[in-house]
Amino acid sequence: MENILIIYKSKYGAAREYAQLLGKALDTAPVSVDQAKSQMVTSADTIILCGGIYASSIAGLSFLKKNAALLSGKKTAVFAVGASPYDQKTLEELKKRHLSGALEGIPLFYGRGAWNEEIMTVKDKFLCSMLMKVVSKKPAEQCEPWELALKEAMGKKCSWVDEKYLEPLYKYIHKDTR
């Protein structure tokens, strides 16, 4: 029987929610990066990291980098979660920036997460409001997808978490639950 390790790093809950959906579908309990151990990687056949995207970085990648030598010969994937709609160009940039070196070749999947200013840290609220001041001055046709998403979500509570975003990952790990 295949041993699957699902680890997650979630600041506001959407990456954790995706990890829980994966865990339910794959019959395994997800583990927070903060509780994950190298021994878990050693005993797993498949490793999936679900991490939120914050300031163009994928949360939890430091765990994979620290354990990169243990990933050899294992099926490994990263599922990044962000507030923006899917954008292939942005995904390629994330992959190029973060899945190089020891993590090169690990596939990157994406799911749209959530937006809730009520639970954001003061720092995150401030950064988002500063971004919004800049973005609000741009006409929609000149905006990047993430800028349009910011305009759409500001001042609202939104969740776009949907299991449909996990379908490509299910196919990759050959355990399509449908």
Strongest mean pLDDT among 44-48, 85-89, 113-117 = 44-48
How many Cβ atoms sit within 10 Å of the Cβ of residue 83? 22
Render pLDDT for 20-40 as a digit per residue (tens, 0 to 9): 999 999 999 999 999 999 999
At residue 176, the pLDDT reads 39
The answer, yes or no, to whether residue 71 has pLDDT greater than 90, is yes
Average pLDDT, the chain: 88
Name beta bridge partners: 50: 8, 79
CA distance 177 to 98: 29
Please enumerate in sequence order all residues whose Cβ is within 8 A of that of 44, keeping only pairs 6 or more positions apart, or say none.
Answer: 3, 4, 5, 74
Q: Which domains does the chain have, with CATH numbers?
A: 4-113+160-172 (3.40.50.360), 116-157 (no CATH)
Listed residue (41, 45, 95) closest to 75, CA to CA: 45
Mean pLDDT of 97-109: 92
Q: Which of 52-61, 91-100, 107-116, 148-157 has the lowest mean pLDDT?
A: 148-157
pLDDT tier at 132, thresholds 50, 70, 90: confident
pTM: 0.84
At residue 1, the pLDDT reads 52
CA distance 169 to 87: 17
Decide which of 7 and 93 is more confident: 7
In the chain, which ranges are continuous DSSP H helix? 14-26, 38-43, 61-66, 88-98, 122-135, 145-153, 167-172
The answer, yes or no, to whether residue 138 has pLDDT greater than 80, is yes
Q: How far is CA 171 from CA 36, 38, 60, 77, 164, in A?
A: 25, 26, 23, 12, 12
